[in-house]
Amino acid sequence: MSKDSKAERLKRMQMPAVEVPPEIAHRVPPGQAVTERFPILHEGDVPSYEMSAWTLRVFGEVAEEKSFSYEELLALPQTKSVCDIHCVTRWSKLDTEWEGVRFRDFLKGIEVKPEGKYVMIHADQDYETNVPLEDLLGDDVLLAHSFEGQPLSPKHGWPLRLIVPHLYFWKSAKWIRGFEFMTEDREGFWERNGFHNVAEPFKEQRFSGEAIPIPEDEWVRKEFD
């Protein structure tokens, strides 16, 4: 994908007028519109799975490479978390409820080498996004299999997606299949294509090399639940 694609197109568009009620303004990053919808945005087709063959792989800077079946993940301690989520395309959805395995609980069965300070999240379809390990250790970072008390729909990432609510939602990869622990940071799919490497919503870290980006309000034209 060329850099004159989604990131560049979003930068060129006019920012929509957004009014946020004062009682929730402290929860909504600059330039975001609050919605009750759950917009569906992703690249490529929605994958389908034969769950008997599905695995989640852990590799890179670990003492031992491991693969987990879906049943093994469901047997780990389960956590429910309520959090706000924020998409780079300018929508925010508040008080979303997720259930899954807390990432730091997942790590209890994995010996990460001291130098493995960065993580590349690998997902279908050929998607990857990078997050420092430190950012994955919070209370509300989950390997989520359920949303609002129901299994994730395929379009929202079933059977498993990552939830990293304090970063823009492209870091919360759908259809995750592996965690690669790395000694040095490496850009993922959107990060290579003009999006910010860190992606903190309250700092408006939307795009690389752009201090005050002006993205398009395109999410209102997308499919949603």
Residue-wise pLDDT tens digits, 67-122: 999 999 999 999 999 999 999 989 999 999 999 999 999 999 999 999 999 999 99
Residues 29-52, mean pLDDT to the nearest whole number: 90
| Structural domains in the chain, sorted by start | 44-82+95-211 (3.90.420.10)
Residue-wise pLDDT tens digits, 44-73: 889 999 999 999 999 999 999 999 999 999
- pTM for the model stands at 0.88
> 219-224: long-range contacts at Cβ-Cβ below 8 A with a sequence spacing of 24 or more?
219/35, 219/39, 219/41, 219/87, 219/89, 219/90, 219/91, 222/39, 222/40, 222/41, 223/39, 223/40, 223/155, 224/37, 224/38, 224/39, 224/40
Greater model confidence, 197 or 3:
197
Is residue 121 within 8 A of residue 128, CB to CB? The reply is yes
